Amino acid sequence: MNSLTGMVATTNKPLRILVVDHCPEDREMYRRLLGRHDGQQYIFWDAPTAADALQVCRHEQPDCILLDYLLPDIDGLQFLVELADLKGEDLIPVVVITGHGNEWVAAQAIKSGAQDYFVKDSLTQELLCGAVRNAIQKVSLLRMIEDQRRELARANDELLSVNRNLTDISRLKSEFLANASHELRTPLNSILGFLRLVLDGMCDSAEEERDFIQTSFDSARSLLELINNLLDISKMEAGKMTLDLEAVNLEKLFNDVYLLTHVQAQEKSVTLEFHAPEDGATSVRADYGKLKQILLNLVGNALKFTDMGGITVRAIPVVERGFVTIDVVDTGVGIRPEIQGKLFGKFVQGDGSATRKHGGTGLGLTITKNLVELMGGVIQLESEGVGKGTRVSFTVPIYREDEEQGADWRQVAGQGTAVKGDPSQPLVLIAEDDLHFRKMLEDLAHQAGFSTVYALTADDAVMLARKMKPVAITLDHALLVPEHPVLTDGWDAYAALKTDANTAGIPVIFITGYDAYLEDRLQEISPIEAPRFISKPFTWEEFTEALNEAAESGSTPQGPEKTGRTAQSP
Amino acid sequence: MRQVLVVEDDPVNARLFQMILARRGHYEVSITEDPDEILHLVRSGQVALVVMDVSLKNATYAGEAIDGVGITRLIKADERTRNTPVLLATARAMPGDRESLLASSGAEDYIAKPVLDHQLFLDKVSTLIPDPPADTPEEAGI
């Protein structure tokens, strides 16, 4: 970018001059004068007309143009206009040559983009060489200013985007506070109101008094549930939810949940069945208490909304992909399709009499989703509609003996993620949903001196990249597709990363085995720069080298000491 | 006899307001959260005052979700019903909520949940109702 500065400073590189003058003798004179100066070498193009000169400029980038104002086809001013049209921001230094007494023309030319001028009659070697050098330096400075202006504009865009994010976060926090305040005041109104009536002797009978107290007590209990839920949510959002991961035996877990829920099922005369995996040996890697909370929540919901038929909980191992799917299926009231996608949001409840009858905080599913993701799973909810029952499915990773050997787990700010390896090492984000392959990539990255964090979906990959600012990202082109994804594969994730100022600077390595498919997708994402690639199968060295290269090439947008690098002179 | 209409989506809170109004104020109370029924009752002239909750999770009017503010606006937009006083009783009680809810709904008054002072609530109700309730006034407001 700043090569011209270099050219002027070092005399070993020839300067390429385009001489635009219809008179061959004059052209020869310029060559002669320049050619003898200071040992600087020159290469010349001859252009007797403006058309010839523009033809050269179409394919070449001369270091300087010597332009006679009087040309046979168009005049010098017109030439400058057409040159600007042709080259756009690719400025070429221009020195204008005028006849005696035509200084006003020179002034016009400089306004139109020429850098310097001289009068033909009073030409000396010093004057000519000085004008060329001067023009080249001017353009070089203009380019540096332009680079810096662009750098500033980019930094400004980044600040605007950070500012927008902060405004969003602040708005969401206020909304949460207002919602929480509303939800807390509602049961408090019943508690305080009925107790006030009792204290003031407003009851008709002893039974009614007891009833008022019982109502207050029930409201107080739902208030406690609400407070616990709010605490869970804020803990999760602050990234302070800690996990105690262990091998959880699904049969034991199902037994515990059954003991806590079967009485309610009996009271409602609905069936309640639990099916652990057939072989009985499958353990999942989870926090026992939190996995139980997930199941109690989902079974509790199912019981609330089912008056006939029953509830079935079934675990299905998907060994080749490294997880177990747990389905909670009921034959209850079902959910309208329009609101199915919203139910995982905060303070959102289904409608209808069942919700009214059973209350609830509207936070249960939000917490459940967060817990599932915190443990590395995904959750989805489906119902064919009102009266058609509901199925909620979520995944939990299968426990693997070797994974737990000396693994360094550290919970980090964020959902569903833990940094593995030595946390003091630079962080690499691995977006890969195949457990075995991911494990291999993690091991390789740890050996190469990186710590890792992983994402199973494209959405998570982008979210984690924004949040954790890794030095590099490896992306599988096919990723797990969760319910209502915003992004469906690695390519979407790549486009999202490269178009967000917060993450555009993080180098991405694509890992792919489908080279034929590559061309099409590259077309689709153009004009975004193409990512780096590693094709499967690859060696340890290839992967390590790619990681190191990527990590070194990255620009960290938050590091102010690195900005403006492109604008510095060699 | 003219009655107080309680609009409330939480059944426990609906019952509480009914009890406060009946036991302390000797008002006749009806309860609903169905917008069409609310408008029908208010138009019939039987309703002396509406105690209106703002957040109504299940209410829809003409196919769209509607809240207590929206229903109050409908009441205030109709010649026949605009003189029926509306008292907003809501758990939306962040700073500024009172002013903005009164302004956007056109309701006469506002009280925040939880209602700690039952007498204050009853005073607001009786101030808004032009005629005193039929029952003996000395028993009201104990």
The per-residue pLDDT for range A299-320, each reduced to its tens digit, is 999 998 899 999 999 999 888 7
Residues B12, A190: C-beta atoms closer than 8 Å: yes
Q: What is the mean pLDDT of residues A222-235?
A: 88
pLDDT at A376: 84
Q: Does A186 touch chain B (CB under 8 A)?
A: yes
At A98, the pLDDT band (50, 70, 90 cuts) reads: confident
Residue with tokens 């504009």: A153
pLDDT in tens, A161-174: 889 888 888 888 88
The predicted-structure confidence for A316-334, as pLDDT tens digits, reads as follows 988 877 889 999 999 988 8
* pLDDT tens-digit series, residues A431-475: 887 777 788 888 888 888 898 888 877 878 888 888 788 888 888
Q: Yes or no: say if A66 and A20 are a contact pair by the CB < 8 Å rule.
A: yes
Q: How confident is the model at residue B79 (pLDDT cuts 50, 70, 90)?
A: very high
Q: Does domain B3-131 correspond to CATH entry 3.40.630.10?
A: no
Decide if domain A168-237 falls under CATH 1.10.287.130. Answer: yes
What number is the average pLDDT over the span A120-135? Answer: 86
Q: A355–B24: do the CB atoms touch at under 8 Å?
A: no
Task: Kindly write down the DSSP assignment for every residue of A434-473, as one continuous string.
Answer: -HHHHHHHHHHHHHTT-EEEEESSHHHHHHHHHHH--SEE
Burial of A518 (0-12, 13-18, 19+ CB in 10 A): middle
Query: In chain B, where are the structural domains located?
Result: 3-131
pTM above 0.80, yes or no: no
The answer to whether the Cβ–Cβ distance between A189 and B57 falls below 8 Å is no
CB-closest option in B13, B23, B142 to A189: B13
The answer to whether residue A165 neighbours chain B at the CB level (below 8 Å) is no
Which position has the token pair 């001489």? Answer: A19
**pLDDT > 90? residue B113:** yes
Please answer yes or no on whether B10 and A359 come within 8 Å at the CB atom: yes
Q: How far apart are CA A27 and CA B88, in angstroms?
A: 91
pLDDT (mean) for A105-134:
85
CATH topology of domain A406-567: Rossmann fold (3.40.50)
Residue B141 has pLDDT above 60, yes or no: no
B24 touches chain A (CB under 8 A): yes
Cβ atoms within 10 Å of B93's Cβ, excluding its own: 17
How confident is the prediction for chain B on average, in pLDDT? 90
Confidence category of residue A91, pLDDT binned at 50, 70, 90: confident
- Which tokens sit at A184? 């807390």
Highest-pLDDT range among A91-95, A231-235, A453-457, A554-558: A91-95
Long-range contacts of A147-150 (CB under 8 A, 24+ apart): A147/A1, A147/A566, A147/A567, A148/A564, A148/A567
Return the pLDDT at A152: 93
d(CA A298, CA A408): 31
Cβ–Cβ under 8 Å, residues A16 and A57: no
- For chain B, the C-alpha Rg in angstroms (whole number) is 14
From residue B35, give the alpha-carbon distance in Å to each of A554, B59, B65, B91. Answer: 59, 7, 10, 20
Residue type for B30, please?
A: S
Q: What percent of chain A has pLDDT over 90?
A: 25
- Range name among A64-68, A222-226, A559-563 with the lowest pLDDT average: A559-563
Give the pLDDT confidence score for residue A171 in this predicted structure: 84
When mean pLDDT is compared across A63-67, A96-100, A308-312, A372-376, the lowest value belongs to: A96-100
Domains of chain A, residue spans = 3-148, 168-237, 245-397, 406-567
Mean pLDDT of all residues in chain A? 81
* A507 against B82, higher pLDDT: B82
* CATH 3.40.50.2300 for the A3-148 domain, yes or no: yes
Residue of A nearest to B60 (CA): A351
Report strand pairing: A532-535 vs B29-31: unpaired
Q: What is the pLDDT of residue A528?
A: 66
| Same-fold call for A168-237 versus A245-397 | no
Cβ atoms of A506 and A465 closer than 8 Å: yes
Q: For position A551, what pLDDT does the model report?
A: 82
pLDDT of B138 higher than 90: no
**Nearest C-alpha of chain B: how many angstroms from A556?**
41
Residues A85, A50: Cα–Cα separation, whole Å: 14
* Alpha carbon of B116: minimum distance to chain A alpha carbons (Å): 7
CATH hierarchy code of domain A245-397: 3.30.565.10
Among residues of chain A, what percentage have pLDDT more than 70? Answer: 82
- What's residue A564's pLDDT? 35
The alpha-carbon gap from B92 to the nearest alpha carbon of chain A, in Å, equals 5
Say how far apart CA A432 and CA A480 lie, in whole Å: 8
Average pLDDT of the residues in B35-60: 93
